[in-house]
Amino acid sequence: MSDQEPIRLNGGQALIKSLEMEGVEVIFGYPGGAILPVYDPIIDSKIRHVLVRHEQGAGHAAEGYAHATGRPGVCMVTSGPAATNIVTPLADAYLDSVPMVCITGQVALAAIGTDAFQECDTTGITRSVTKHNMLVTRAEDIPMAVKEAFHIATTGRPGPVLIDIPKNIVDANNPDAYFDFVYPDTVDLPGYSPDGRPSDDSIDAALELLAAAERPVLYVGGGVLKARAAEAVLRLAEMGDIPVVTTLMARGAVPDDHELCLGMPGMHGNYTAVTAIQRCDLLIAMGSRFDDRVTGKVGAFAPDAKVIHVDIDPAEHGKVRIPEVSVVGDCRLVCEALLAKLEVKGGASAFADHTPWRQQVSGWQEKYPLVYQSSESGELLKPQHVIESLRDSCPPDTIVTSGVGQHQMFASQYWTFNHPYTWINSGGLGTMGFSIPAAIGAKAAYPDRMVWAVDGDGCFQMTAQELITASVEKIPIKVALLNNAYLGMVRQWQELFYDNRYSEVYLSHDMPDYVKWAESMGCVAFRVEDPDEIAATIAKANAINDRPVVVEFRCVEEENVFPMVPAGGSNDDIIVDPSQEQPAHSTAAQDASMTDAQRTGEKAK
């Protein structure tokens, strides 16, 4: 045990003290009856508490903080409705492997199971959306619960951990809630011993495939960021002259400006990233999980490739695609182990010559760049144009968060991510409303960096109230609201796959009045309705540092995200922008005589 002097504390004080011992800087939270006793000692703590306006915001802010820093985000809410309000962020953090510790109040132990006021079975409800959760039943167990929660959330494959705290064990008026506090320095978890070190055999087997490959692709996923492995991955790519694709969760892990980086694969990935995977003979999946949004039809995914799968979670191996070589381990340790052995074998000379492959890939890049048709003065804006202008006028270390929808895909496609941890979005769960609270979390972590939330009009209406949080707490984020008057992504699917039958996707450009709404929440707000005003308005927004800023960009309604692989379709059937010649291997090409709309509509059937 530790050599700290025990101090007499009640459970509430012990909880806050434990968080201090874990080095927590900020808690995103919202008080209420069951958690009241824990809010009292917050007044005396050096930990900052950010009072959100909805518990979902607390959870996403904690996620944003964690994505940006790599340290666990902390949120705290009361029982019942607050606990259910935070289920979405927990599920989000679970699917995207975000380290997070969530503390929920609970009714007193004696009342549990009686349908007491604001009681819900929080550990039951959250069991399947947390890496682990626990109901603490004695005040003296609180320090160990916190210690374990942080340990579990941050080690192995990271994830959210929830601690449910009955009111009586933190109640200052309950003599049984007092005990001699000592913060433990070790945990005792016999069933949990994550080990990131890969086996030698798996490394050797991977090396064999690497040496033989003529057309390799590194398929880099969020696990690379979680493992702080970006640098090691880049070294491996450079040594082996291996093209890299970065998934939606890994944008920035390898710089977009790097000649080996092909950008994002998947449903809305660019042609080259998608096609390089389809044609490669070796796919090195590095901290990625063969999500259906990347693979499309699994049977047609990377048909010629052998697969090396590197992931710390054994349950990911063989879940979707059986790999030829399975390397269970931490991406950084795996890359370092590979690099060490490769150095001995002569570095670059341990690989085959990939020049022909690189040339083939460059050919695709030239033939199928990302394109869109610009709008003219006086017309509404193109969302892609907005993202490009934003990209070109923000400092390189700007953090971009996003909501879910077309705007998310445009942001991922058109921003140039040259640094890890500058792109924060909801990939696995696809949670609308993620961007504003996540931006608050990131900005709370890095007050000196610029943080832009790229949001859709639909998403904005889900969590806009957190702009009040941003104003009051002086967390001056900026929001680029791509207002296309529609639930655009759903509208796109209805256009392409439901014969233009638009069902419940229209929102309108001017209801609500976003500028007034933003102003009423303490933000500076601008509206841009002409492409010629984009750059100047962004410059104005970037010059404001003392308040949150919302820039409403009035975008065209009908823009679609291309390229696109229809859901469940083969990646070979990728549809590129209608202004481009459809690739010969795509069924879209066979409909070339039709109009664009007919062709894309036809695809659905």
Partner 1 sequence: MTRPGELENHTIVVRVENKAGVLARVADLFARRGYNIFSLAVAPTNDERFSKITIVVTVESTPLDQIVKQLFKLVNVVEIAQLPADQSVERELLLATVDAPAKTRGEVLEIVDIFEGKIVAVSGEQLTVSLDGRPDKLDDFEALLSEYTISDLQRSGRIALPKIGRQAARLRAV
Ligand X SMILES: Cc1ncc(C[n+]2csc(CCOP(=O)(O)OP(=O)(O)O)c2C)c(N)n1
Q: At 600, which amino acid appears?
A: T
Nearest to Mg ion of 120, 487 (CB atom): 487
Q: Would you say 504 or 546 has its CB closer to Mg ion? A: 504
For ligand X, the closer of residues 31 and 488 by Cβ is 488
Separation of alpha carbons 177 and 11, rounded Å: 5
The set of residues, in sequence order, having a beta carbon less than 8 Å from that of 315 and lying 6+ positions away, is none
Is 318 a binder of partner 1 (CB under 8 A)? Answer: yes
Find the catalytic residue in 118, 365, 461, 580. 118
Task: Determine whether 118 is an active site residue.
Answer: yes
Of 13, 21, 22, 55, the active-site residue reads 55
Taking the least distance from each CB to partner 1, the nearer of 133 and 582 is 133
Is 559 a known active-site residue? Answer: no
Closest approach of partner 1 to the CB of residue 191, in Å? 4
Instruction: Catalytic residue, from 117, 345, 558, 581: name it.
Output: 117
Nearer to ligand X, 19 or 404 (CB): 404
Binding-site member from 150, 414, 486, 526 for ligand X (CB under 6 A): 486
Question: Residue 475 or residue 528: which is nearer to Mg ion going by CB?
Answer: 528
SS3 381: strand
Instruction: Please report, for residues 148, 157, 436, 583, the alpha-carbon distance to residue 151 in angstroms, rounded to integers and kept in the order given.
Output: 5, 11, 28, 49
- Select from 67, 407, 478, 599 the one that contacts ligand X (CB under 6 A): 407
Please identify, using beta-carbon distances, which residue of 350 and 490 lies nearer to ligand X.
Answer: 490
Q: Which stretch binds partner 1 (CB under 8 A): 255-263, 315-323, 519-527, 572-580?
A: 315-323
CB of 481 to Mg ion, least distance (A): 9
Q: How far is the CB of 416 from ligand X (least distance, A)?
A: 20
Among 216, 456, 548, 566, binds Mg ion (CB under 5 A): 456
Torsion of CA 384, 388, 389, 394, to 10 degrees: 140
Please, which residues have CB within 8 angstroms of residue 421's CB and are 6 or more apart in sequence?
67, 68, 69, 70, 225, 252, 399
Distance between alpha carbon 357 and the CA centroid of its chain, in Å?
31
Q: Which residues within the stretch 329-348 sit at the binding site for ligand X (CB under 6 A)?
A: none
Query: Among Mg ion, partner 1, ligand X, none, what does residue 566 contact (CB within 5–8 Å per kind)?
Result: none
Taking Cα atoms as reference points, which of 481, 477, 497 lies closest to residue 489?
A: 497
Compute the least distance from the CB of residue 156 to partner 1, in Å.
Answer: 6
Q: How far is the CB of 548 from ligand X (least distance, A)?
A: 19
Which residue lies nearer to partner 1 by CB, 128 or 359? Answer: 128
The residue with tokens 């832009």 is 452
Report the C-alpha gap between 375 and 552 in whole angstroms: 17
Binding mask 361-400 for ligand X (x = CB under 6 A): ----------------------------------------
Binding mask 464-483 for ligand X (x = CB under 6 A): ------------------x-
Q: Which of 389, 484, 494, 571 binds ligand X (CB under 6 A)?
A: 484
Decide: is 315 part of the binding site for partner 1 (CB under 8 A).
Answer: yes
Residue 430 binding result from ligand X, Mg ion, partner 1, none, given CB thresholds of 5 to 8 Å by partner type: ligand X
Angle at 41 between CA 37 and CA 44, to 5 degrees: 160
Interface residue with partner 1 among 190, 346, 378, 395 (CB under 8 A) is 190
Cβ proximity to partner 1: between 241 and 324 the closer is: 324
Tell me if 488 contacts ligand X by CB under 6 A.
yes
Q: Which does 404 bind (CB under 5 to 8 A by kind): Mg ion, ligand X, partner 1, none?
A: ligand X
User: How many CB atoms neighbour CB 144 within 10 A?
Assistant: 17
Give the H/E segment covering residue 134. strand 132-135
Residue 405 φ/ψ region, left for φ over 0, alpha for ψ in the -120 to 50 degree band, beta for the rest: left
Q: Is 556 in the site for ligand X (CB under 6 A)?
A: no
> Do 531 and 555 contact (CB within 8 A), yes or no?
no
Q: Calculate the dihedral angle through the C-alpha atoms of 417, 488, 536, 551, rounding to the nearest 10 degrees.
A: -100
In the Cβ-directed half-sphere of 539, how many Cα atoms lie within 13 Å? 5
Q: What is the size of the binding site for partner 1 (CB under 8 A)?
A: 22
Closest CA to 539 of 401, 394, 377: 394
Site for Mg ion in 481-540 (CB under 5 A): 484, 486, 488
Per CB under 8 A, the list member of 231, 238, 313, 602 interacting with partner 1 is 313
Contacts of residue 186, defined as CB under 8 A and 6 or more positions apart, other chains included, come to none
Task: Report whether 480 contacts 506 (CB < 8 A).
Answer: no
Contacts of 334 (CB under 8 A, 6+ apart): 198, 203, 206, 229, 286, 310, 327
CA distance 152 to 150: 6
Residue 417 burial (CB count, 10 A): 26
Q: What is the smallest separation between the CB atom of 315 and partner 1, expressed in angstroms?
A: 4
- Which of 432, 450, 489, 521 is an active site residue? 489
- Nearest residue (CB) to ligand X, 122 versus 431: 431
List all residues 6 or more positions away from 520 whose beta carbon is below 8 Å from its beta carbon. Answer: none
100-106/132-135 β-pairing: unpaired
Residue of the chain from 489, 528, 574, 575 that contacts ligand X (CB under 6 A)? 489
Size of residue set near ligand X by CB under 6 A: 19
> Are the C-beta atoms of 368 and 358 separated by less than 8 Å?
no
Active-site annotation holder among 131, 167, 478, 603: 167
Strand partners, 105: 165
Of 66, 100, 135, 538, the one binding partner 1 (CB under 8 A) is 135
Structure tokens belonging to residue 399: 């953090």
Told to check if 17 binds partner 1 by CB under 8 A, we report no
Residues that bind Mg ion in the complex, under the rule CB under 5 A: 456-458, 484, 486, 488
Residues that bind ligand X in the complex, under the rule CB under 6 A: 403-407, 430-432, 456-459, 482, 484, 486-490
Residues that bind partner 1 in the complex, under the rule CB under 8 A: 123-124, 127-128, 131-132, 135, 152, 156, 189-195, 313-315, 317-319
Active site residues: 55, 117-118, 167, 489
